[in-house]
Structure 1
């Protein structure tokens, strides 16, 4: 998925930013959110699309841009509907007939149908075109939900008329974790890093503090860089150019493209030796921790790293 070059939806709606405290900025995953009243699958028009963009600040929205004239649309739309219900409202499926709503199609720069785009916090993420296999769509959905959680968009659609379960009380955060999250909220990454570091000194086995510390350090590394320039520089550099390739891997990881970051660093390991190889290996292990052990790209990348090393 590519977060760069996303289309501008400002002509259709100006979404509100997420409410303060709705999530943890800077890539630190938020806790599951509350129920959001509304249907899991909705038909959207140019008149109602602004509401859909606003809703994307609470729950991820998957936009299915289809045409009744397209056979592939007829194959894909029912699959997306079934998946939306199977996922229990963790995203809303917004169906847009491009023939009846050309302004929406133009905003998304639709070149063929079906086209599927995610909208998270008002920001569009192009996903795929054509009738994708269901198993690949599931992988895409899981990645969309992970990125949404990192940006604090964790609501769940609750169809109108259905009772909403009372939210269970969340256990309080450990003091240093709370201190770190407050620092992130106000944009003080130095203070956040210090708090997580102290948490690890108190409890070296605190895996959540370790992963969060690595995330904060990743954010700091990419914060002042232009992502497109970093990726372009890496594309023109040799696989053994550790500085350029590590910077590009950071950009890819920070934007959720862990598979690309992992593959890039494995290539660096293969192309280098000594200290350069060790630097790439350690960065790759850090990104494994940030992605988490259940991320589908981690296990294959670990096997590729082992092959590159031995």
Structure 2
């Protein structure tokens, strides 16, 4: 089935004979498709059932790399209202030529086998949302601010979405340093500690030493200081201060903060001398990592105060 541009009447034919494999209706797990000669015809046929956002990109294109995570986030957010099909123009030059792609990124909205609309360049997320709103009802969480959406994604373990949002926010406003700190948090969650450190090191001195950045550094350090599986296994059956401290540290590194804080408090109660009051010092570092307003920080500061005084 050819793509017909309704504005020019030009026909864009598929670059290969259609594959006979069946293309099923979109599911949550297949909202994002890779397009090449083997399946371009099926993608066009699929657009008769669900609109397809065709992202034409190239590996050497930096704006493409910035745009793609935003489009991936949006297709997940819209939950099946449209599909995202990605076409590497370097590997599929004939298809790109037939599509009239002259520069990338080039994003085309295809429905019923026809070209509905398109835009070129790595538009900011806000403008892409406005563009999509011409054709699709905004998802329920569209009323959330980008920061709220990123935090929600990170809470749900969707680090890819959270990272894409913060990267876009940094691009829009490079001097909003809180976004760099939040992106560093995402990188820690992805076990990309070196990248997280680079982000923190790039901050101005006053931001680098502020509580938020110190908290992220503390999270990195917890992961590096905490015992691994082999060490934990060796601690099995031990009930001394060192073993209990290391177990609590592992809980903190794994983001099981309440269990970790409770364990650190227990070590402090039983043995203030362990490691030169190490349990109390680590509690304070965890408070830094969580932030002053976190409910666990508030609760365990009170418990720490009660124990001390």
Which of the five TM-score ranges fits, normalised by the shorter chain? 0.3 to 0.5
Give the TM-score of the pair, scaled to structure 1: 0.40
Greater length-normalized contact order (CA 8 Å, ≥ 6 residues apart): 1
Give the TM-score of the pair, scaled to structure 2: 0.40
- Greater Rg by CA: 2
Higher helix share goes to which structure?
A: 2
